[in-house]
């Protein structure tokens, strides 16, 4: 099984929220960004826009925390998905998630998290600038390594020459 992943490149994001619209459409059949499972964080003064959502952890804490085993691995995509009929709405997964990317549905309290739309993520399709792409897991490292290096270099520069 090739595990695919959502590769997010914040530098390409313009903050247009088409991903939120598309995701909420899949969730609710309406355009309702408050129900989107991908969110765009805007850092105005830094001119930076960062879409974020479930990273589908290898060791998924939401899955470990669930008392009813309602979160399982989708064998087709490798994504961690919520089984609605098993979920009892206890919110434990939302507390367990280190990234705050598991939400609950108003009204039913059932867990809501990104499931990669079963292999065709709507957010990646909707993104007009390829800031969100659905790629093979191993390929996403190419970009991430460069980003890691940049953060590292920036950190070293900030520390000053004494370091």
Contacts to another protein by CB under 8 A? 14-18, 21-22, 24-25, 28-35, 44-49, 106, 126, 128-129
In angstroms, what is the minimal distance from the CB of 11 to another protein? 8
**CA neighbor of 77 nearest in space, from 124, 26, 29, 114:** 114
Q: Cα separations (Å) of 149 from 70, 100, 134, 153, 163?
A: 38, 26, 23, 6, 17
In angstroms, what is the minimal distance from the CB of 157 to another protein? 17
Question: Which residue lies nearer to another protein by CB, 46 or 59?
Answer: 46
Question: Which residue lies nearer to another protein by CB, 23 or 60?
Answer: 23
Residue whose token pair is 């997010």? 8
Question: Which residue lies nearer to another protein by CB, 45 or 59?
Answer: 45
What's phi and psi for 27, nearest 5 deg?
A: -75, -40
In angstroms, what is the minimal distance from the CB of 109 to another protein? 15
Reading the block at residue 115, the tokens are 């499931």
Reading the block at residue 52, the tokens are 């974020």
The residues with which 5 forms a beta bridge, in sequence order, are 135
In angstroms, what is the minimal distance from the CB of 137 to another protein? 28
In angstroms, what is the minimal distance from the CB of 152 to another protein? 22
Question: Which residue lies nearer to another protein by CB, 33 or 78?
Answer: 33
Question: Which residue lies nearer to another protein by CB, 6 or 22?
Answer: 22
Query: Cα 160 to chain center, whole Å?
Result: 34
């Amino acid at each position: 099984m090739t595990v695919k992943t959502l590769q997010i490149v914040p530098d390409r994001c313009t903050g247009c929220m088409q991903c939120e619209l598309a995701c909420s459409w899949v969730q609710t059949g309406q355009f309702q960004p408050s129900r989107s499972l991908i969110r765009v964080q805007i850092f105005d003064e830094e001119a930076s826009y960062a879409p974020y959502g479930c990273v589908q952890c290898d060791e998924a804490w939401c899955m470990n925390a669930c008392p009813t085993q309602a979160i399982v691995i989708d064998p087709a995509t490798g994504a961690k998905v919520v089984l609605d009929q098993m979920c009892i709405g206890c919110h434990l997964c939302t507390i367990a998630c280190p990234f705050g990317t598991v939400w609950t549905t108003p009204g039913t309290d059932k867990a809501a998290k990104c499931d990669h739309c079963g292999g065709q993520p709507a957010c990646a399709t909707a993104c007009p600038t390829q800031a969100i792409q659905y790629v093979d897991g191993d390929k996403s490292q190419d970009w991430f390594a460069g980003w890691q290096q940049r953060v590292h270099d920036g950190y070293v520069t900030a520390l000053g020459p004494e370091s």
